[in-house]
Amino acid sequence: MEAMNPTTPSGCLCEDVDPILDRYGRDQGLLVSILQDIQEKYRYLPKEALERVSAALDVPMAQVYAVATFFKAFSLKPRGRHVVQVCMGTACHVRGAPLIRDKLERDLGVKNGETAADLSVTLESVNCVGACALGPVVVLDDEVQGHVTLTKVDALVKKVRS
Amino acid sequence: MDDAKTITITINGKQVQTTEGRYLLEVCRENGVDIPTLCHHEAVSPAGACRLCAVEVGDGKGRSRIVASCIYPCWDGMVVETESPRAVGVRRLVLETLLARAPKVPVIRDLARRYGIRRPRFPLENHQCILCGLCVRVCSEVVGVHALSMQGRGAEKECGTPYLSGESTCIGCGACVYVCPTECIHMEDRDGVRTIWHEDAGVKTSVRQFKLKYCKVCGAPLGPEYQLEYIRKKVGLPEDFHDLCPGCRATGRRVAATT
C-alpha cells in the first residue's frame, strides 16, 4: 500500500504548501484551485501535501482524497518533466492515433499511462482535446501538435530527450 | 417548523396527508407501502445511489415520470404509483445491473428473485460492494470520523479509506460494518485485536487492526482503544472512565457509597 506513494522527488515539505494555502485564504471552497496549484508545483499531488491541505482547511483527509482522485487532471503518482498526451478521440483515432501512440511507446520506452523511471517523461492518452480538424493530435507540454505523422513523432521524441 | 404546509398526496390510489417537502420514501413507508432499498438508512441523509426505490410520480393529469423516492420531496396533489408496470420495470432493470455486478450477494439475489430475475443479460462480475456510499455517510454523519470516502469515478470508482491504506482516522467502531447492505466490510475480534477490512472482488483493502480494551476488574470486552478514547474526548469523561465496564463501575460506586 505504501509503495504506491514513493517519496517525492522534489522533497515536498508540508511548509512548501503553506504559501499556496495562504494565497487562497485557506478557504475550503477553493480546494480544487489549491490542489491545482500544488499539482503545478510538484507535477503531482504528494501525500504529505494532501495531509497538510486537509489539516489547514479543516477538511477531512478522506474528502480531500476523494476530490483528488475524482478529477483526471490530478495525479497522485509523480509525473515526468515532460507530458506527452496522445489524442484518442474519434477523429484522431480514425486518422491513425493508435499508430502514433504505439510509436511513442516504443521510442520513449514508456507504456501508455506510465511515467519513465527517471521521471523524464509521462505518456498518456486523452479522449479529445477539441482540435479534431488537426487530427491526429499530440499535446506536448500543453502545446498542441497537429497533423502528427510518424516522422513528426521523431522530432517530438527528440524535443523530449533534449 | 411553522411554515410546513400540510398537503395531500395519493399513494397507490389512497389519499395520504403529509408535510410538504418530506421525502416520498419515508411517507410511503409510514403508510405501509413497501419500497425496496439498499442505500437508505434512517440514521443518515438519503443519497439516491442504488436507485432501487424508483417509483412513478404523476400530476394526476396523465403526465408522469420515474423518480428515486428516497430523495424526492413531496408536493401537493402528486399521484404516486409504486407498483405500476413502469416503476417495476425500472426497478427490475436496476436489479438486473446490480445482480450482474454482485451475483453472489444474498440480499441482491433475494431481491432479484422477488422481481423474477433469473440471469442478467449483462456480463457477470464478482463484486460485493455496490458503491452505495452508506458506509461513507455513516462514518461522517453519525460517527463524525470521516475515515471513508468514495474515490475515483466511473468504472474505477472505489470505496475506502484514503490510499485504501490502514492509516486513517478510523476508530474501529464498526458502524460501516453494521450498515453495509451487501456485507462487504468485515470485522473480526480475536485475541484482543479487532480487524476491519473492505473486501470486494476478492481484494482486501483498508485493512486495519485495533487493540481492544477490557474491563480491569471482570475482563469484559469494552471496545477498541481508539473508539473509547474518541468517545471519552467527545463527551469529556475522566481519563480512567473506560478502565471499568458499566457493571463494575456501578459496583464500585455502591461500594464507595456504603463505606
Q: The CATH number of the domain where B95 resides is what?
A: 3.10.20.740
pLDDT digits (tens, 9 = 90+) for B39-53: 999 999 999 999 999
A147 part of contact set with chain B, CB < 8 Å: no
Residues facing B65 on adjacent strands? B57
What's the rounded mean pLDDT across residues B128-157? 94
Q: B79: helix, coil or strand? A: strand
Domain boundary residue among B79, B114, B149?
Answer: B114
Q: Does the pLDDT value for residue A8 go beyond 60?
A: no
pLDDT digits (tens, 9 = 90+) for B62-118: 899 999 999 999 999 999 999 999 999 999 999 999 999 999 999 999 999 999 999
Q: What is the pLDDT, as a whole number, of residue A13?
A: 62
Sign of the dihedral defined by the CA atoms of residues A93, A98, A103, A106, in that order: positive
pLDDT digits (tens, 9 = 90+) for B11-39: 999 999 999 999 999 999 999 999 999 99
Intra-chain end-to-end CA distance of chain A, in Å: 35
Q: What is the pLDDT, as a whole number, of residue B1?
A: 53
| B160: closest CA of chain A, how far (Å) | 9
For residue B150, the chain A residue with the least C-alpha distance is A66
On whether ipTM exceeds 0.90, the answer is no
Domain that holds residue B82: 6-114
Cis peptide before A136 (omega within 30 of 0): yes
More confident residue, B131 or A117: B131
Closest alpha carbon to A126 in A134, A138, A110:
A138
Relative to beta strand B203-214, strand B221-224 is: antiparallel
Are residues B138 and B95 part of one domain?
no
Give contacts of B163 with chain A, Cβ < 8 Å.
1, 4-5, 47, 65
Domain for residue B15, yes or no? yes
B225: confidence class by pLDDT, cuts 50, 70, 90: very high
Q: Does the pLDDT value for residue B252 go beyond 90?
A: no
**Cβ–Cβ of A63/B149 closer than 8 Å?**
yes
B258: confidence class by pLDDT, cuts 50, 70, 90: confident
Joined grid coordinates for residue B12: 397507490
Cβ atoms within 10 Å of A57's Cβ, excluding its own: 19
**Cβ–Cβ of A66/B150 closer than 8 Å?**
yes
Strands of A82-87's sheet, edge to edge?
Answer: A121-126, A82-87, A138-140, A143-145
Are residues B218 and B180 part of one domain?
yes
Of the CA atoms within 13 Å of residue B36, those in its CB half-sphere come to 20
8 A C-beta contact, residue B86 and residue B66? yes
Distance CA A4, CA A85 (A): 23
- Which DSSP state fits B61? S
Which residue has 442504488 as its cell numbers?
B50
A73: confidence class by pLDDT, cuts 50, 70, 90: confident
Domains of chain A, by residue range, sit at 2-70, 82-161
8 A C-beta contact, residue B197 and residue B126? no
Q: Does the pLDDT value for residue A6 go beyond 50?
A: no
Domain for residue B237, yes or no? yes
A5: confidence class by pLDDT, cuts 50, 70, 90: very low
Q: Does the pLDDT value for residue A47 go beyond 80?
A: yes
Are residues B190 and B151 part of one domain?
yes
How many domains does one find in chain B? 2
Are residues B181 and B104 part of one domain?
no
Domain for residue B120, yes or no? no
pLDDT digits (tens, 9 = 90+) for A82-107: 999 999 999 999 999 999 999 999 99
What's the rounded mean pLDDT across residues A65-93? 92
Are residues B147 and B92 part of one domain?
no
Mean pLDDT of all residues belonging to chain B: 93
Residue % of chain B over a pLDDT of 90: 83
Q: What is the pLDDT, as a whole number, of residue A12?
A: 56
Pick the residue of B135, B140, B146, B158 with the most A CBs within 10 A to test the interface with A by mutation. Answer: B146
**Cβ–Cβ of B151/A5 closer than 8 Å?**
no
Relative to beta strand B203-214, strand B193-200 is: antiparallel
Domain range A82-161, CATH architecture: 3-Layer(aba) Sandwich (3.40)
From A2, A62, A70, residue closest to B162, measured CB to CB? A62
Q: What is the pLDDT, as a whole number, of residue A98?
A: 93
Distance CA B48, CA B38 (A): 10
Q: What is the pLDDT, as a whole number, of residue B167?
A: 82
A2: confidence class by pLDDT, cuts 50, 70, 90: very low
Q: What is the pLDDT, as a whole number, of residue B251?
A: 87
Domain for residue B250, yes or no? yes
Q: What is the pLDDT, as a whole number, of residue B9?
A: 96
Q: Does the pLDDT value for residue A14 go beyond 70?
A: no
What's the rounded mean pLDDT across residues B133-145? 95
What's the rounded mean pLDDT across residues B151-157? 91
Are residues B71 and B18 part of one domain?
yes
Q: What is the pLDDT, as a whole number, of residue B111?
A: 96
